[in-house]
Amino acid sequence: MGGIKGRLALVGLVILLFLLPSVLPRFYTYIIALIFVTALLAMSLNITVGYGGMFQFHHGVFYGVSAYTVALIITKTKLPAWVAFCAGPVAAAIAGLLIGGFCVRLTQLYFGMLQISLGSLLWAIVFRWYSLTGGDDGIHGIPMPDILSSLKNAYYFILIVLIVCLYLLYRIVNSPFGRTLQAIRDNPGRCEAVGVNVRRHQLAAIVIATFFAGVAGVLFVVLEGSVFPDLLFWVLSLEVFIMCLLGGWFTFAGPIVGAAIIVSLRTFVGMYTEYWTLILGAILILLIFFLPEGVMGFLMEKFAPRLKAHVVEERSRAQG
Amino acid sequence: MSVDLASVLTQLLVGLSRSMILFIVSAGMSFILGVLRVPNVAHGSLYMIGAFSAFSVYNYFGGGSTGFWLALLLAPFLVALVGFVAERALFCHLYQREHLMLLLFTFALMLILGDLVKIVWGPEYSSIMPPGGLKGSISIFGSAFPKYNLFLLVVGPLVAVFLWLFTNRTKVGKICRAAAVDREMVGALGINVSWIFAAAFVLGCYLAGIAGALVAPTVSITLGMDHDIIIEAFLIVTIGGLGNMWGALVGSLIFGITQALGVLFWPQFAIVFPYAAVVIVLLLRPRGLLKSVW
Amino acid sequence: MKHGGRGFGLASLIFIGALLVAFVSGALAGGKEIKVGIIDCYSGPPAVYAKDALNGFKLALKEINKKGVLGRKIVFTTRDTKFKVDIGLSMAKELVMREGVDVLVGTISSGVALAVSDFARKEKVPFIVWISKSERITGELGHRYVFCTSENTAMAGKAMAVGLSKKPYTKYWIAGDDYEYGHAIARAAWRNLQKMKPGVKKIGESWWKVGEPDLIPYLTAIMAAKPDAVIFCTGGKSMANILKAIKATGMAKKVAICIHTATDHAVLKALGPEAPEGVMGTMDYHFYFPETPENKAFVKAFKAAYGEPPGFPAFHGWNTAHFIAKAFEKAGTVNTEKFIDALEGLRIMSPVGEIEMRACDHQVVEPMFLGVTKKSPKYNFLIASDIVTLPGPEIMPSCEEIMALRAKAKK
């Protein structure tokens, strides 16, 4: 198993990440921090998509709700920033509970389209409530507490929060709750028959996922100091979906890989051509045709075929 | 703000004419959704290509009235062609795969088409004019009402009739309806389901093209048209009942009228009116107002 | 799943790899050049303006680079903001942090301009705004590192009020794009109009999303309220749409309409015969007025280079290039703080006469023109007729007012 070698690699990686800001130019520190934030968002989505098998098509809404909550609390009230940081994920989870509550009554495509509808309503409100949210202009120059105001410190803060969240997510996914969720994904009928309350489980998964999306939203504000209505727009949600798929939605680290690839490509391709959207579309097509299991799936075939076969076998047994 | 009945009626008519465009787009999307069971995320892009193609055809034939009518005639075929190529070259190979892959393919198509339009037509916006007879406005209920919008009010029902005839009176149409309900049975009867899907997809694209060509004289033909319309089409199809074309009509009427009235009574939040209507419908009938085809 | 650890290893390898590739391919710092980073909207309707501004800038650079500035050439690179604030900000970040530009220039959306201005202040990079017009840019949210070579809403609002106060209209409706610029011009126009003609009444307001394609329902709703006059506060993205909708509903014949930049050539040219007649507009540049030798020379050179006459963005772009060049020359070195000191109070000769970059707020002082759209026998697009000129110093808010606004905003 991953075991000792895996853990050493992990520790080595973490140390490397902590050293990076001291050696890299500021722009790259910024991009890596952005990757961290996006990776957390993608990981949170995967709780519902990869582990829960749900068509969470508008995950971005929760990310945006949290970011705006933080922005509004800091700019419109005299409350300290730390209150805002805690309020963000809570607001996201509440939105997740409300929207998810309606969506779990349905399945598959209906679930997805209902979520897009409800999410778009939230987007429309944020987008048009100019006096509160600044509408299309967004909110800028959001002041951060002094410790976080430099790029380097923001990077460290984001990295630490990311590591903590990843650890929590790992524990959740491997807990009895997580296993039940995967069982529901593979065969909801059988679970229902064994007495599992499928709806409640799925709703719980949504609330957890949206809570962590909310944390990602807080980190976004820390890094950028701004919020925009596009955070709640459906295109971003679909992009995050692509990140999960690109990375490999059935592995734990898959979404991180997906997020890293998409953010890096978007930044660097954007410097040489204005047709980034075309390239993203082409990547997605290639993915669908040649790499449906994502990058991680492909790599696992090459380097850990036994592990992959084990995972695949487990799933097909469950699906019966 | 004090409004009189005349203004409300005028505004209703304006909303109705907008509903016609929404209906044509949503009907196309609903049709594809019904037969292929996939929401075509690229539908907005096809609509946009319809508008841009109309512009090109219009200019090719020297503008004016001939330009307009020829554009209205030819642009939808161009869009249908684009759809056909995309479907046969790539899409049809995915029919055996998971549902999600089909949806993602349409999303990828949207991304690619969006930039293709930019490459072919450039980033700036274009504009075409309504034909001679339809320029300007006439007085209805004492207010100015653009003649072209009146034209839209006539074309909308015509398209609806054409669609009804197609799905109920032609062989292909009836098979499409059958395939929407039970594709395995249709396949068992020896009909090539893949070609049926192609037909349905191409028809959907054709409708998107008509809508694009029709809307072209009233708006700036610009990049970003796809994003604007696709979310509205999604919502309309969801509240109408997935795959149900009459549901698309009902949804479009609700959407267009609530938005126009919203503009009259609360312009800043006009967009929230149709969204709120959508939410109310979905809370009461989560599967849409009319029965879904499946 | 137990393979989490190895997953992380693979994941890290991939993105370190991606970063290295990008790092290696990154831009090498320019040697002996002055780098200007331009962020603007090159997609959709605003692209007409952005292209015009870039052309004006390039035309000026051709001349300037013949001699060079302090022995160096001025080079530029552009980035597309797509009229979106988040994209504009990330482009600005990339230009400053990766490309290391000496000066940031742009943009058209006032929303983007404000966000980037905030960023420029933090990074201490000079940002010259050349099309965005919100008065907040150099007003209450102004600071040392932002300059504006465009007329702003305070100036336009005053000019509009001067024109409208002479007319008999009392019932006004105000409508426009729901973003920074729309609200800024609305506030400025109304505040000045009220001062100059206390009897005016605002009977309603409507705001639509930026770039709203279907404006007809909004216009029919406004006409239903029967105002005497309407002030439309539309920016780069909606200008073409609003003019088209006005023509389609025949609104200009029923209600008086005033729009800032309605008489601008860049948009009237694109619309051709579709543009409505009889719309009042304020503007800071027309290629056919005033007929000074500088303007004639500018128009001639522009036409020769780009095949058509310049609009106001080109005018601003040309001025910006000259401001940058002259400021560096005066500073004597490529140093940001000295550049800023030199730019304050600098005067250059523009196509409409001498203009000054006011030291107290970094706002350019230039004249405004009022006109009405009208068909012209000479051209196949509309032009402004009955032009009235308002000299710069008359329409600018005073330095004291600006400083007071900034102080209030900081609290």
Residue spans of the domains in chain A: they are: 26-233
Give residue C248's identity as a one-letter amino acid code.
A
Buried b (16+ CB within 10 A) or exposed e, A60-93: bbbbbbbbbbbbbbbeeeeeebeebbebbbebbb
Question: What total of structural domains would you count in chain B?
Answer: 1
State whether A304 and C80 contact (CB < 8 Å): no
**H-assigned helices in C26-99:** 47-67, 85-94
Contact indicator for C87, C81 with CB cutoff of 8 Å = yes
- Round to whole Å and give the CA distance between C112 and C122: 16
Amino acid at B94: L
Does B275 touch chain A if contact means CB atoms closer than 8 Å?
A: yes
Domain limits, chain C? 33-151+291-366, 154-284+368-394
Six-digit token string for B282: 């979905």
**What value of ipTM does the predicted structure carry?**
0.84
Cα-based distances in Å from A217 to A32, A214, B5, B292, C107: 16, 5, 47, 37, 28
Which tokens in the block code for residue C210? 């930026």
Q: Tell me how far apart the terminal alpha carbons of chain A are, to the nearest angstrom.
A: 26
Residue B268 and residue A106: Cβ atoms within 8 Å? no
Buried b (16+ CB within 10 A) or exposed e, A289-319: eebbbbbbbebbeeebeebbeebeeeeeeee
User: Which residues in chain C are closer than 8 Å to A247, comparing Cβ atoms?
Assistant: 11
Confidence band (pLDDT; 50, 70, 90) for C22?
A: low
DSSP state of C344: T
Enter the tokens of residue A70. Answer: 């933080």
Give residue C386's pLDDT.
84
Q: Is residue B95 part of a domain?
A: yes
What pLDDT does C203 receive? 92
- The 10s digit of each residue's pLDDT in C3-21 is 444 555 555 566 566 566 5
Spatial CB neighbours of A249, under 8 Å, sequence gap ≥ 6: A46, A49, A50, A255, A294
Counting one residue from chain A and one from chain B, the pairs whose CB atoms sit within 8 A come to 107
Cα C250-C253-C259 angle, rounded to 5 deg? 85
Which two tokens mark B24? 């044509």
pLDDT at position C377: 83
Among candidates A110, A121, A289 on the partner chain, residue whose Cβ is nearest the Cβ of B276: A121
Asked if A117 lies within 8 A of B37 by C-beta distance, the reply is no
Fold of C33-151+291-366: Rossmann fold (3.40.50)
Tell me the three state secondary structure of residue C343: helix
Per-residue pLDDT reduced to its tens digit, C276-324: 998 999 989 988 888 889 999 999 999 999 998 898 999 999 999 999 9
* Distance (Å) from the alpha carbon of B259 to chain C's nearest alpha carbon: 9
C-alpha dist (Å) from residue A205 to A210, A211, A213, A219, A287: 9, 10, 12, 21, 27
The reply to whether B232 falls in a domain is no
Inform me whether the C-beta atom of residue C180 falls under 8 Å from chain A C-beta atoms: yes
Q: Say if the Cβ atoms of B107 and A245 lie within 8 Å.
A: no
CA B19 distance to own-chain centroid: 10
Nearest to B80 by CA among B28, B130, B122: B28
Q: Are C322 and C60 in contact (CB under 8 A)?
A: yes
Strand pairing of C103-106 and C383-390?
unpaired
CB proximity list for C287: less than 8 A, separation 6 or greater = C265, C295, C299, C302, C309, C310, C311
Q: Could you tell me which residues are beta bridge partners of residue C388?
A: C370
pLDDT at A172: 94
User: Is B3 close to C241, i.e. CB distance below 8 A?
Assistant: no
Query: Which chain A positions have a beta carbon within 8 Å of C3's beta carbon?
Result: 1-2, 6, 251-252, 300, 304, 307, 311
pLDDT at C28: 44
Residues with Cβ within 8 Å of C151's Cβ and at least 6 positions away in sequence, in order, are C133, C284, C364, C366, C368
The whole-model pTM stands at 0.89
Short-list B163, B123, B134, CA closest to B28? B163
Domain contains B71: yes
Residue B114 lies in a domain: yes
Range of the domain at B27: 21-223
DSSP characters for C273-330? Answer: GGSPSS-EEEES-BTTBS--HHHHHHHHHHHHHHSS---HHHHHHHHHHHHHHHHHHH
For A167, the enclosing helix (H) or strand (E) is helix A151-173
| Interchain proximity A278–B93, CB inside 8 Å | no
Query: For chain B, which ranges sit under pLDDT 70?
Result: 1-3, 294
Per-residue pLDDT of chain A (320 residues; tens, 9 = 90+): 457 887 888 888 888 888 888 888 889 999 999 999 999 999 999 999 989 888 899 999 999 999 999 999 999 988 998 999 999 999 999 999 999 998 888 878 788 888 988 898 899 889 888 888 888 888 988 888 888 888 899 999 999 999 999 999 999 999 999 999 999 888 888 888 888 888 899 999 999 999 999 999 999 999 999 999 999 999 899 899 989 988 888 888 899 999 999 999 888 887 778 788 899 899 889 888 888 778 877 787 777 777 767 767 766 666 65
Rg of chain A on CA atoms, in Å: 19
Q: Hey, is the C-beta of C14 within 8 angstroms of any chain A C-beta?
A: yes
Say if C291 is an interface residue toward chain B (CB within 8 Å): no
- Residue C1 pLDDT more than 50? no
User: Under a CB-based contact definition with an 8 Å cutoff, are residues A80 and A143 in contact?
Assistant: no
From the CA atom positions of chain B, what is the Rg in Å?
19
Residue B1: per-residue pLDDT:
47
Cβ pair C120, C126 in contact under 8 A = yes
The three-class DSSP label of residue C108 is coil
Q: What is the mean pLDDT of residues C49-57?
A: 94
Q: Is the distance from CB of A169 to CB of A51 less than 8 angstroms? A: no
Domains C33-151+291-366 and C154-284+368-394 alike in fold: yes
- State the CATH class of domain C154-284+368-394: alpha beta
CA distance A264 to chain C (A): 7
Cβ neighbours of C235 (radius 10 Å): 31
Contact C348, C147 (CB under 8 A): no
Q: Is residue C147 scored above 90 in pLDDT?
A: yes
Q: Is residue B177 part of a domain?
A: yes
Q: Are C88 and C158 in contact (CB under 8 A)?
A: no
